[in-house]
């Protein structure tokens, strides 16, 4: 009978430990890393009006970038459909268009940050200068 009591007690302890672990696992705070938007707002200490204007800038920027990305995808699809082509002029034509859209993307990013700088009040300009050195790091491609 002692073995059965011991096994029942051990089973109860293990069951309660699993319940406690499950409770802690399910109730842990959902940690999402801060995105560039929040980092910029925090670093520049934007007020509510600036945040609203910044949100509008973000929406315009995203729309522009999506459109350019879509255009690149169209030309990439055409390029790869001509993979077997012996005519390098056709392939170069598509590559030149892809490069032109990529230049537009970089210019769009640049103009986006110029617009953010214009949102800054004079006392926030120094913080923006400090932010500039971090931008390339924040927006580097993610390694997969």
The pLDDT of residue 30: 64
Dihedral angle over CA of 57, 58, 63, 67, nearest 10:
100
Same domain, 12 and 41: no
Q: What is the pLDDT of residue 77?
A: 93
* Full-model pTM: 0.70
Question: Is residue 54 located within the same domain as residue 111?
Answer: yes
Shared domain for 65 and 134, answered yes or no, is: yes
CATH number for the domain harbouring residue 87: 1.20.120.1490
CA distance 129 to 44: 10
Specify whether 18 is located in the same domain as 56.
Answer: no
Please give the tally of structural domains in the chain: 2
Domain extent at residue 3: 1-31
Whether residue 26 is found in the same domain as residue 42: no
With beta carbons less than 8 A apart as the criterion, state whether 44 and 131 touch: yes
Report yes or no on 143 lying in a domain. Answer: no
Is 45 in the same domain as 15?
no
Based on the domain organization, do 12 and 50 belong to the same domain?
A: no
- Chunked mean pLDDT (size 10), the chain, 144 residues: 77 80 73 75 93 95 96 93 84 94 95 95 93 78 63
| Model pLDDT, residue 2 | 83
Whether residues 12 and 56 share a domain: the answer is no
State whether 27 and 57 are in the same domain.
Answer: no
Sign of CA dihedral 114, 118, 120, 122: positive
In a domain, residue 50? The reply is yes
- Are 57 and 81 contained in the same domain? yes
Does residue 144 belong to any structural domain of this protein? no
């Amino acid at each position: 009978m002692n073995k059965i009591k011991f096994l029942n007690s051990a089973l109860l302890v293990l069951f309660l430990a699993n319940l406690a672990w499950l409770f802690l696992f399910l109730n842990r705070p959902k940690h999402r890393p801060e995105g560039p938007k929040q980092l910029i707002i925090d670093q520049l200490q934007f007020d509510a009006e600036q945040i609203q204007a910044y949100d509008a800038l973000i929406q315009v920027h995203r729309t522009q970038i999506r459109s350019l990305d879509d255009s690149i995808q169209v030309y990439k699809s055409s390029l790869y459909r001509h993979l077997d082509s012996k005519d390098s002029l056709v392939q170069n034509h598509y590559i030149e268009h892809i490069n032109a859209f990529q230049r537009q993307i970089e210019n769009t990013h640049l103009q986006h940050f110029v617009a953010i700088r214009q949102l800054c009040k004079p006392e926030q300009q120094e913080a923006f200068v400090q932010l500039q050195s971090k931008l390339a790091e924040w927006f580097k491609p993610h390694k997969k």
